[in-house]
Chains A and B, each alone.
Chain A
Amino acid sequence: MSRNQTLLQEDQDLIDGITNGSTESLRIVYKEHFPLVAQYIIKNSGSEEDAKDVFQEAIIVLYDKINKGDFILSSRLQTYIYSVSRFIWLKKLNSNNPLTVAMHQELEETLAVEDDLQESNTKEMQFHLMEESLNLLGEPCQTIIKDFYIHDLSMQEICEKFGYTNANNAKTQKYKCLQRLKKLYFSY
């Protein structure tokens, strides 16, 4: 398991804990993620008390989303909590005073970062899905598919490389491999 996967698993364990009402999980979330949120709020005209309120609200948002069953961990939990906290804080500032141009810009950037994160996570998921599908496809299919669709080898070149008696046999093999790959990739 990669380091990234380990971290995501740890986050998932915390979410499972929160789902099951574990106060220990909430304590860990607070201990690990509050300092970053507090640092941001204090740096942006807030106090430690403000930071506690905002963090509490962010945890409630997370808790509600988990309980509704529509929370999918698509990024690190820290990124999620930090983004929600920033959003809540900017909204609070807005309710007291009109947003400054800089704050508007920051709010937009926060939302844009969320979009970017979402897109990046989708791409990452698709990459792993393709990798897994190609691995399950095995040889010689994996190489035939890569040679034809990625490295742009002709069917004649593939025929010679794999020792098929003629290009038609190679085409039939490539077709069968392709159908298997489609089944693997699109069935997830």
Chain B
Amino acid sequence: MKNNFDFIERADLYIKDELNAEDKLIFEKYCDENPHAAEEYKQHRLLFQKLREYQLRKNL
């Protein structure tokens, strides 16, 4: 991952299940080896979930 911009783009593809199997493994390995990236991904995924929950609640 070149920078945070690149990392977030990959994280988006990972969350949306748009990475192929090989790229998925590369992304997971990168997070395993970089605690900062793992933390960043965790926060990113949480925000993604909260956005989705927000929309579901809004649609009620």
Chain A interface residues (CB < 8 Å from chain B) = 123, 126-127, 130-131, 134, 145-146, 148-150, 152, 171-172, 175, 178, 181-182, 185-186
Contacts of A175 in B (CB 8 A): 5, 8-9
The SS class assigned to the B binding surface is helix
| B53 sits at the interface (CB 8 A) | yes
Given known contacts A149-B48, A186-B43, A171 and B54 CB-to-CB distance under 8 angstroms:
no
Q: Which residues of A contact B58 (CB under 8 A)?
A: 127, 131
For window 30-60 of chain B, which residues contact chain A by CB distance below 8 Å? 43-44, 47-48, 50-55, 57-58
Evaluate contact between B43 and A149: CB separation under 8 angstroms.
Answer: no
Task: For chain B, give the interface size range.
Answer: 10 to 19
With contacts A175-B5, A175-B8, A186-B43 known, is A150 near B52, CB below 8 A?
yes
A175 and chain B: residue at smallest CB distance: B5
Report B-chain residues with C-beta under 8 Å of the C-beta of A150: 51-52, 54-55
A152-B16, A171-B9, A182-B43 known; A126+B53 contact, CB < 8 A:
yes
Chain A contacts for B53, CB-based, 8 A: 123, 126-127, 130
Residues of B within 8 A of A131 (CB): 54, 58
Interface of A is mostly: helix
A186 to B50, CA, bound (A): 11
Given contacts A175-B5, A175-B8, contact A123 B47 (CB under 8 A): no
- Complex Cα gap A178–B46 (Å): 13
Of B16, B43, B57, which one neighbours A127 at CB under 8 angstroms?
A: B57
Known: A127-B57, A152-B16, A186-B43. A178 touches B8 (CB 8 A): yes
Q: Which residues of A contact B47 (CB under 8 A)?
A: 178, 181-182, 185-186
Q: Which of A127, A149, A152, A182 has the most chain B CB atoms closer than 10 A to its own CB?
A: A149
Q: CB-nearest residue of chain B relative to A130?
A: B54
